[in-house]
Structure 1
Amino acid sequence: MCEHDKHSKALTTETTPAGSRRRRIWDLSHECHCPVIGVCIPLPTLRRIVNKAMNGQAIAEDYEIHVGAISECGRRNRLSETIQQELEQRYARTIQEFRAAKTVEAVTHMWLAAIDKGDVAGAFWAALTHPRCNAELQDGLCRDMHMLQHQAGASVRIDINRFNALVEQNKLLTRELGRVQERHKHTLAEKTREIEQQNTQLIQLRAENIGKDSSIHFLSCDIAALKAEVPELETRQRLLKKIEQMAERQTEMENQVRELKQKLAEANKAAADMQEQAAEQSRQQPEEKIYPITLHLKQKTVLCVGGRSGNVPTYRDLIERIGGRFAHHDGGLEDNQSLLDASLAAADLVICQTGCISHTAYWRVKDFCKRTGKRCVFVENPSVSSLARGLEKFSEDEAAHAEMTSQ
């Protein structure tokens, strides 16, 4: 590239060619034809031009076609004219740009700028055929193009090595891409199957939902129709619900009654056990002393309710000894409680031994005597002495009542 500066300096001292006519390819010297044909026209294009000029198909090799075209460009003929036309059309834009150069120095600067850009084919043809191109500039252009071809050859070799490396890398990447594509293909097929299954399930679910919605709609219509046919349906439903609640309450009450009856039976059994224990104790105790009683019952019926079964003969002896008639009811332990009312009605005096009587019999005796005004003496201890004291109390009450009546 150092030669460029020499060319530019030399051109300033040379005589500038006169006129504005651009040179044709056959006007150029023979040494210019080789770089023009080799650089400015691609080989496929050159072969096409040769075939067109020969009206046939050239079977020669590329080098032979190149050499033949160079020899034909030395004079004006059909092939050289076709090559001239191709070059003018191919580089028309660059030629138009070089028209702005009015001096050899301007052409030289444009050529050097094209070298810096790396686009020399069009610039070489435009500068070489420029009206201001003299012999010195032409020689410099040819020398520069010769060196550029050497550099291009070296670059081509480097590019070939790089290209071969890229080819190997491309093979590796292609194989890797194939594996990735295969995995992607399998994955895509699997996902496609999953999507199809999900779509099938979605369709089934939609169909089920539609069926359910239809059933709900039909049931709603049926309910509305039933409500219209039975205006009091809601009231009946509330009553049925209330009846169910009452039935549940009744069941609970029956369970409670059953439990209470069971507890009552247990209490009665416990009371019977206590009476038996008391009777056993009375049999083991010595016979009580009978206190004299001044009362005379005058054949009155004395009903003794309750007491120990072992003391009944003693009760009878005591009552009959003072002129009374003895009647006994055990207070519901063994005797039927339904006989109690009849016994109470037939008695003139009732002695209720509260320690050995059921609760029911106690309240029935108390209620009956209260309603009828019949005298009743309550004795807590079921012993004979307690019965005697009860009779004494009855005697005292009778005397007090008689005294009040006489006054």
Structure 2
Amino acid sequence: MHTAPPFRLAGTRSSNAPPDVCCAPTASQLRSLRRRARLSELDSHLHCSIIGTCLSTNELRKLVPKFTSLDRHEATDLEIHHAAVELAIEGGDGAKALQKALDVRYAGALRKFESSKDADTLLALWKDALKSGDIPSAYWAVMTHPQATLSIRQAAFGDLHMLSHLVGAANRADIRRLVALEEENAALKDKVERQQRRLHEMSIERDAAQRQSTELSLKAARQASAPADELEAEVIVLREALRARDERLAIHTSRREVAEQRAVIEQQNGEALSKRLDDAIAMLNAFHAECQALEKTLEDTLDASGAKSTLASLQGKRVVYVGGRPGSNAALRQLVESAGGDFVVHDGGIEDRKGMFAAALPRADIVVFPVDCIDHDSMNLLKRVCDRHQVDYHPVRTASVASFIELMLRLEAASPVSGRTPPASRFCLRHG
């Protein structure tokens, strides 16, 4: 059993079914089909992919702090991205600035896609751009094109989503190459150092040869009685030797420059792969913590001596879980209720109304939401309601049972120190 994602996949609607109310064009939009769509007019689920794909982090660091309180030097990349998505959702001056930056950067692609007068031609241009690798410019042009239908936007969104999976698979191969690249980088550095020492020695030999040639020329000039042919032959030999040394020096100099350039490139690649390795290690640590939490819960469940349960701290407490999946939510409900707690589930607005937040959250002791199964709009509304009613909320990495249990163990471990439930984390694992 599974739930549909917040953004409906292409091909799931029958040909005779009416369009979704949230995605159907309004009367004013139908009157202005000849113009391109603005960023703030697009569905809010598209803003994250557009900002992350079409604008670099450096561009966002220059633009986002003008409309938010973030510091461009101290804020993380995730905080900058999250603020940019919120600006796009809210509209206003921030969304206009993002729109202008995208239009200026991809003006060439916009002119190219203007030749599309129907949906089929527009989709064909997108597929050509996907094959050539020119994804960011084509993605922005397709999403805002006057002829872009809901199905075309869904197809482009789905293609971009699958590319992200391919990039994740490539990262694992890059990590394996990191060790080999580092060893090759060290070998290249040693080779460059040896070549530099050799070039220095050759320069000294060249200077000595030049001095020797000069001395021999002066000696030949003083020896007026010596045969002219012998002196000329000696000079020719010395010049040939000098020219051969110059040629060798030029060859080694060229090789040294090529080796230095390659060493710089390999060093940059090594630094990039080191960062990816750090991210992979952080993810591995999160998996390890969740596995330990599951193992401890299983040991407590199987312990026949009556030891204290892992979730005993939830006895008598009301837990509101926003988002998630039906299968894991059912398991979480059984765990919390077996510990003596009350477990309330809200799907984040897929079927349950988002307005029910205001009724469910004020009576909650703790609010938990998985960052991989909640959209930007629901997350922002959830934070505002929790802040208004002074209810602690905690994001978890995924909608799995392991992530929930790991959070409960972490909160239980922190409670004896402070004497109360620790304040909710204001850092979102997905959006910052």
With normalisation by structure 1, the TM-score equals: 0.46
Name which structure has the greater RCO, CA cutoff 8 Å, separation 6+.
Answer: 2
